[in-house]
Amino acid sequence: MAAMDDPAPPVPAVMIAALKETLGPGGWLEAPADRAPFETDFRGLYHGPAALIALPDSTERVARVVALCARGRVGIVPQGGNTSYCGGATPRPAGNEILLSLRRLRRIRAVDAAGDALTAEAGCVLAELQSAAAAVDRLLPMSIGSEGSATLGGLVSTNAGGTAVLRYGMMRALVLGLEVVLPDGRVLNQLSGLRKDNTGYDLKQLFIGAEGTLGVVTAATLRLFPRPAVTATAFAALPTPAAALALLAALRDSLGDAVTTFELMPRLALEFVCRHVPGTRDPFGAPHAWYALVEATAGAEDPEFTPRFASVLAAAIGDGHAQDAVIASSGAEREALWRLRETIPEAQRHEGVSLKHDISVTPGRLPAFIAAGAALVARLAPHARLVAYGHLGDGNLHYNLSEPAGGDGGALSRQSEEIRRAVHDLVAAHGGSFSAEHGIGQAKVGELERYEDPVALDLMRAMKRTLDPHGIMNPGKVLRGSE
């Protein structure tokens, strides 16, 4: 394997010609203007020219492209909806990799309502898959802000999380089977809808969350669930994160695993949203320190369900764990409450430079982490605006800092490494993870080396060498020096 500072040579013209022939008319892009949207991540932080944008329209063509690249030792960067927060789907600057877009693999191959399973190709957009499940009265419970553009291959490859993990788990829990093009061009076909299958190692787990470094996910079979008959949604005002945890515990005591969503946000996040997102407004007359978007669903019609949900909130207000709450009484009101949470990333973009950290600790340790983190930020960057929001039920916070109001974003950017180190050290001291749901990409390769158990890192490198001996799959992502 070549070292990191010994980049592969440019892609030879004969290889480009062979790839074009394999891909066929309409199967590739080469002009700089056509390539541009694929070569920059959506936050505009990572850029890298691709020697060619390959747009295969079938698994078979993906396999032929990968086989060609394996023979020529050409790096391949797989890309789906280009929504990575970590530069995981953007080529590196050297210009000697091809970008493999899965966007044309768009077929939903089967929807099995009786078997509660859906099989689709990697380029299918999540929102379309949700609709396909709903059309047969089933629920595909994966739910993320970018569901209008994120695609199945990327969701699997990054083990996506989102706002329903509390009840249904991350992508890993939803995948029943995968089809993967291996780094030598062979196709691993394990598109099984089986619920029980103990035939040796569970190979699909290797590719879920591997960010395209071990192979290209071309299709997946996902688990579906009954569609909820009743949905109860509330927005609650809370004095502290500890009170939020107490409210979550009370909801679970009363409703069991019907609680699907418990999202925490601070006052500043609500202010950002109301300032920048048209049509949004603070549901309460007075400001509060923290808020939670809470949702619970019941599988069958149950006239007692929403009143029970409401009585837990009323009791929480009675005992001081909540200060106020509104419950949606229509679909439109529900959507308005969800908008207050889902548009936080968009609203924060309008507030200038931001530093993002995607951390998790066990939920019970969140209050202590939040208190220690606030003290740390006050010491390191007293004028930065801390907006720590996210999936409280999963112990996952987007621990983001915005530049001072009307202030100097450049100063915050210059401190980004120092702040990142301090935040991630604090996470480690709380037994947590520096990458809860956004992955490693190229952004957190050094963090993985620093915080991961050395034995785990050895195993990861051994797996990479075994499956991808020439280091052609998404080189330099997740593991350094793997090319």
Binding site for ligand MLT (CB under 6 A): 145, 344-345, 356, 358, 390, 398
Nearest to 241 by CA among 133, 373, 97, 114: 373
Residue placing its CB nearer to ligand MLT in the complex, 293 or 460: 293
Residue placing its CB nearer to ligand MLT in the complex, 344 or 361: 344
Residue placing its CB nearer to ligand MLT in the complex, 217 or 397: 397
Least spacing, CB of residue 22 vs ligand MLT, in Å: 36
Least spacing, CB of residue 159 vs ligand MLT, in Å: 13
Least spacing, CB of residue 97 vs ligand MLT, in Å: 26
Of all helices (H) and strands (E), which one includes residue 99?
A: strand 97-101
Identify the residue whose tokens are 């993990």. 165
Residue placing its CB nearer to ligand MLT in the complex, 92 or 391: 391
Least spacing, CB of residue 255 vs ligand MLT, in Å: 23
Residue placing its CB nearer to ligand MLT in the complex, 388 or 472: 388
Q: What's the CA angle centered on 436, arms 340 and 464, to 5 degrees?
A: 140
Residues contacting 229, CB < 8 A, separation 6+: 298, 299, 300, 301, 302
Residue placing its CB nearer to ligand MLT in the complex, 92 or 341: 341
- Tokens for 57, please give them: 């329209």
Least spacing, CB of residue 345 vs ligand MLT, in Å: 4
Residues contacting 31, CB < 8 A, separation 6+: none
Secondary structure class of 308 (helix, strand, coil): helix
Q: First vs last Cα of the chain: how many Å apart?
A: 6
How far, in Å, CA of 396 to CA of 382, rounded?
24
Residue placing its CB nearer to ligand MLT in the complex, 56 or 345: 345
Q: Yes or no: say if 313 and 259 are a contact pair by the CB < 8 Å rule.
A: no
Q: Yes or no: say if 136 and 113 are a contact pair by the CB < 8 Å rule.
A: yes
Directed axis angle between helix 241-255 and helix 305-318, to 10°? Answer: 150
Residues contacting 422, CB < 8 A, separation 6+: 376, 380
Least spacing, CB of residue 396 vs ligand MLT, in Å: 8
Least spacing, CB of residue 277 vs ligand MLT, in Å: 13
How far, in Å, CA of 404 to CA of 477, rounded?
32
How far, in Å, CA of 252 to CA of 361, rounded?
20
Least spacing, CB of residue 44 vs ligand MLT, in Å: 15
Residue placing its CB nearer to ligand MLT in the complex, 42 or 254: 42
Q: Which amino acid is at 240?
A: T
Sort strands 385-391 and 396-402 into parallel, antiparallel or unpaired: antiparallel
Least spacing, CB of residue 398 vs ligand MLT, in Å: 4
Residue placing its CB nearer to ligand MLT in the complex, 351 or 358: 358
